[in-house]
Structure 1
Amino acid sequence: MFLHDALTRGLVRYLTAELPSYQRRVPNDVDRLRAGLRPGDVVLVEGKSRISRMIMTLSQSSWSHAGMYIGDALLRWGGPHAEEALEAFGIEAAHLVLESDMAEGVRVKPVAWYADHNLRVCRPQGLSTGDLEEVVAEMLRHLGLRYDRRNIFDLGRYLTPVQLLPARWRRRPLYLGSSSSREVICSALIAKAFYRVGFPVQPLVNDAADPGPHAVIARHPSYIMPRDFDLSANFEVLKVNLAPPKKAGAWGRPLPEG
């Protein structure tokens, strides 16, 4: 058991180490991000670590990670986690994103922490205030739980072309996620919270069904990845993180000051 734990910790450190080649393509305006976000918004992140690169390669997407903006909901929720957030982040604790981290589990980070990352904001469409509050509350109930590390292996097996897999793996049923509800991955955690209020992230057309209420089915939350929020018709892509453009002169060059 000790050897297994030591190997797991070593693997997690290796996978979560940041790579020096990361390039931020668009500057973020943190003040606009704070002002523009509202609870329930999904923040997609292009991560800097090895595991982020793996997820982006396997999923063929620019996004390796997803978190949910909860604003000051944790402070209103109260309890030890709220006290820890206030001690760690001060006034920034009123602008939090809840996420699942491979090393630390389900945690909160201030919006400003993401300023040096490439970001995309996706807002759910058509949810009532009550439903949004329930979604955020469901996310808060998972604070402190641990990341489902088994999913990385299963995700790779799921996304690998079937002809590249050993025959015995093709016959085995794929199950993304442990049977324990205490193990979560970032995108699946968010998808489960939305599904609690009947809001699917990526609805699929059921070709076998007759037209009617069952013609559209919901993909299981365990199969939801960060890119699915970006592609979903149920989410609007926002630009609230972008710095306002400067006035351009000839050939698109910024006009001189004064």
Structure 2
Amino acid sequence: MRELGQWLARKISEWLVKEGPPPNSPLCDFNRLCYELRPGDILLLEGRSRVSEVIKIITQSSWTHSALYIGRLYDIADPKLRKRVKDAYQGDPNQQLIIEALLGEGTIVAPISKYRMEHLRICRPSGLEPSDAQRIIAYVIKHLGSGYDVRQLLDLARFLFPWTVLPRRWRWRWRWRSSLFEHNVGGPTRTVCSCLLAEAYNLVNFPILPFIDRGDDGSIRFFKRNPRLFTPKDFDYSPYFDIIKYPFLGLDDLGV
């Protein structure tokens, strides 16, 4: 019975990650984007898979996936971490690399060239110290090989979805216990893309979308948000990230 459940889960994952055709022409200048990337930048992607279409509807955003740019192998300062990345990635050592959590694959390292034809955007943490960038990179490297937390994805969908629009007789189907506010639910080895990156930035106390509380005495306090509640669009919306984009055709090319 357990084997049947695993087989069914695998088939569902394969169906969800099946992608539609790529665009006829790219929306961004991929070569320019790669040239401008810095280790610690977050890369946003507008996905083409079935699960991406669901994420677009739930989050009301075109950004469905986020990944962390870690540079090339020789950009990683710690030799132990460099070896771990090298063990997980058998390609060209001069390739520019990202770490991402994918449905059906878990947390992996991959060349950014896999997204050459996709719609991409750079979110750069404003004022982030190089030493903090290395700590962020170290955190995500240590999670290589972690599984993808499907339950967290479902719980986040339930949390964001305006379920009051559903007929009352359907709502009971959504009433399972949420994992979003539990500690280390399902073990510490599973994550989703935005949660992993939010945890890494929380490690160095870099704000993404913090809660802000103003006291009666005029003092202001920042509170970190639960990393499990982040989606890719939050990095785009955050006032603490600079948005960098390079259109495939500039204004001069368009005659504007």
Partner of 1:69: 69
- Deviation of 1:19 after TM superposition, in Å, equals 2.0
Partner of 1:245: 250
CA distance in 2 between counterparts of 1:74 and 1:187 reads: 22
Partner of 2:94: 91
Deviating more after overlay: 219-228 vs 199-208 = 199-208
Q: Among the aligned pairs, what percent are the same residue?
A: 32
Unpaired runs of 5+ residues, structure 1, are none
Partner of 1:191: 198
Partner of 1:78: 82
CA distance in 1 between counterparts of 2:147 and 2:211 reads: 30
- Deviation of 1:208 after TM superposition, in Å, equals 7.2
Spell out the pairing of 1:177-256 with structure 2 (5 A cutoff): 179=185, 180-206=187-213, 211-214=218-221, 216-239=222-245, 241-243=246-248, 245=250, 247-248=252-253, 252-253=254-255
- Deviation of 1:23 after TM superposition, in Å, equals 3.6
> Normalised by the size of structure 1, how large is the TM-score?
0.84
Letter aligned with residue 238 of structure 2: S
Spell out the pairing of 1:148-187 with structure 2 (5 A cutoff): 148-163=149-164, 164=166, 174-176=178-180, 179=185, 180-187=187-194
Distance 1:88 1:63, change over 3 A: same
CA distance in 1 between counterparts of 2:19 and 2:233 reads: 21
CA distance in 1 between counterparts of 2:173 and 2:218 reads: 36
- Deviation of 1:100 after TM superposition, in Å, equals 0.4
Distance 1:209 1:41, change over 3 A: farther
CA distance in 2 between counterparts of 1:83 and 1:209 reads: 54
CA distance in 2 between counterparts of 1:65 and 1:27 reads: 16
> Normalised by the size of structure 2, how large is the TM-score?
0.85
Distance 1:57 1:25, change over 3 A: farther
Letter aligned with residue 197 of structure 1: V
Deviating more after overlay: 171-180 vs 154-163 = 171-180
Deviating more after overlay: 197-206 vs 131-140 = 197-206
* Contact persistence 1:25–1:118 (CA under 8 A): no
CA distance in 1 between counterparts of 2:238 and 2:69 reads: 18
SS in 2 for 1:181: coil
- Deviation of 1:25 after TM superposition, in Å, equals 6.8
CA distance in 1 between counterparts of 2:239 and 2:251 reads: 31
Partner of 2:43: 43
- Deviation of 1:151 after TM superposition, in Å, equals 1.8
- Deviation of 1:147 after TM superposition, in Å, equals 0.7
Unpaired runs of 5+ residues, structure 2, are none
CA distance in 2 between counterparts of 1:161 and 1:111 reads: 35
Distance 1:2 1:122, change over 3 A: same
CA distance in 2 between counterparts of 1:140 and 1:242 reads: 30
Deviating more after overlay: 23-32 vs 54-63 = 23-32
Distance 1:10 1:23, change over 3 A: same
Deviating more after overlay: 216-225 vs 56-65 = 216-225
